[in-house]
Chain A
Amino acid sequence: MRPVLDAQNLSKRFTIHQLDKHITGCTDVSIRIEPGEFVGITGRSGSGKSTVLKLIYRTYLPQEGTILYDSNEFGTVDLTSADEQTVIYLRHHEIGYVSQFLNVIPRTTAREIVETAILETGRDAEFARTETERILAHFELDRELWDSYPNNFSGGEKLRLNIARAMVKHPRLLLLDEPTASLDGRSKERVRLLIEQLKNEGTTMLGIFHDLEFMGGLCDKEYSMSLGSFTA
């Protein structure tokens, strides 16, 4: 079977013109993810973990390297050179991204956030409505929060909503950017359970964590990062 993702020799440098400065994001990083695998990256803050994830999501473009992604729709796509329309399609249908921050869209309720995500995949409004209720219940979000704005949700509630939004698309590849950072023990445990469920359903995932101990049992492969590169 082909890997879902095969990234080779990724290097990313940021140039800040005003300050005439260069910052290294990551250097010569390669990573391979097989279908159904849960791969974890650990490392201190500033070690380049998020850079790798954002390169894969195409928020950043690398100076060097290739990211071959095995798409249901397009076959093998190099995410570093794919045209924007292809990337937008993949974000809507195949590649999910969960950040530790919920980008709160102004004046959008929890229900609307999830519904919009389903509609993006091309499903009809009726399906979106029932599926949204199912998923919000599944993620144990209090019913009274469904029709309120997430601005004043707790960290754990925001995060579960965030994962729910990514999950309803049944992505082929799910990227998790420190999904448990800043959560208390109980909320962490809940998120861990959700991730475990996803893994059992066969979702391919790449997650970054600053303490992998917590995720340890779940990961099929672990990389640890330091100063922009993988160490052993």
Chain B
Amino acid sequence: MNKIVLQVKELGKRFGEGCPRCSGGDPTALERNYCPACGTVYALSDVSLDLFESEVLGIVGESGSGKSTVLNCLYFDLEPSGGEAFIAQYKNGNESIFSGSGQTRRYIRNHVFGKVYQNPVLGLKMKFSSLANIAEKMIAAGNRNVGAMENRARELLTHVSIPHHRMKEAPANFSGGMQQRVQIAKALSNNPPILLLDEVTTGLDLSVQARVLDLVKQIQRELSISMLLVSHDLGVVRMLADRTIVMLNGRVVERGLTDQILEDPQHPYTQELVYSLL
């Protein structure tokens, strides 16, 4: 049986100070995830999940439900307000990665996680060449051999079907689908055991979306990487994820096998989501 590679416990993220009315953790004190008394937004409340070896876990929900915030906290783009996360690579999973110093966080970011952002501008240096973008991540991980880095970068870009003669070009010149594929190559550069995918296909046209999805699937099959896959597209989740969690207003409202979520949704919000599926 597969092992747990990432365990998230009671993750919370609050924007604002909180007040006596809302800080008790009582969801009825909030309008959706917003406290009308003090204006604090509870982007994440009490989010727990386990990610298993070589598994794809889908996270679905409407925009503003907190899906991306989960990934942002794990990748240290945002500082969580509460909760813990454990990975085997950090103190054998005995201490939360959020307790780590800046240095250990950088190490985890560069060696354990690869992240693909919905907006390629956040994941790539748009004016640097594609090769340099990948080298950047490898340098951050301590790599110093230019020849080896270039070879690796070329291999990865070939893998994601970027033509040879365009590898020295900057992603700014690329189409959205190509930019997303460069991001995926960059995220894979240090062989991370865990990939964080944030709406990787949103905004791409159908045939381009298909190629990105095929790539994700191929990576999962060949490299057995575990993935947290955030998407508002149930079709994407159905194709890729064995298990799915459903988020609403910063909370997990339902979790289960993906076919169970799609065919026998329990929560009113999940039902609304599934019945909206074309």
CB <8 Å contact, B268 and A18:
yes
Interface residues of B in 229-247 (CB under 8 A from A): 239, 242-243
CB <8 Å contact, A59 and B1:
no
Closest Cβ of chain B: how far from A142's Cβ, in Å?
Answer: 25
CB <8 Å contact, A59 and B257:
yes
Chain A residues with CB under 8 Å of B263's CB are 54, 59-60
Closest Cβ of chain A: how far from B50's Cβ, in Å?
Answer: 9
Please report the C-alpha to C-alpha distance between residue A60 and residue B263 in the assembled complex, in whole angstroms: 7
CB <8 Å contact, B239 and A106:
yes
CB <8 Å contact, B210 and A59:
no
- Which residue of chain B lies nearest to A89 when distances are taken between CB atoms in the complex? B1
23 A/B residue pairs, CB under 8 Å, sorted by A? A16-B271, A17-B268, A18-B268, A18-B271, A18-B275, A54-B263, A54-B264, A58-B257, A59-B259, A59-B260, A60-B260, A60-B263, A60-B264, A61-B256, A61-B260, A84-B242, A84-B256, A84-B257, A85-B1, A86-B1, A88-B257, A106-B213, A107-B210
Chain A residues with CB under 8 Å of B260's CB are 58-61
Chain A residues with CB under 8 Å of B2's CB are 85
Closest Cβ of chain B: how far from A135's Cβ, in Å?
Answer: 20
- Which residue of chain B lies nearest to A105 when distances are taken between CB atoms in the complex? B239
The number of A-B residue pairs with CB atoms under 8 Å apart is: 45
List of 7 A-B pairs having minimum Cβ-Cβ separation, nearest first: A17-B268, A60-B264, A59-B259, A59-B263, A88-B242, A84-B243, A17-B271
Closest Cβ of chain A: how far from B59's Cβ, in Å?
Answer: 15
Please report the C-alpha to C-alpha distance between residue A107 and residue B208 in the assembled complex, in whole angstroms: 13
Given A59-B264, A87-B257, 20 more A-B residue pairs with CB atoms under 8 Å apart are A16-B271, A18-B271, A18-B272, A18-B275, A54-B263, A54-B264, A58-B260, A59-B257, A61-B256, A61-B264, A84-B242, A84-B243, A85-B1, A85-B52, A86-B1, A88-B242, A89-B1, A105-B239, A106-B213, A119-B221
Chain A residues with CB under 8 Å of B275's CB are 18
CB <8 Å contact, B256 and A14:
no
Closest Cβ of chain B: how far from A125's Cβ, in Å?
Answer: 10
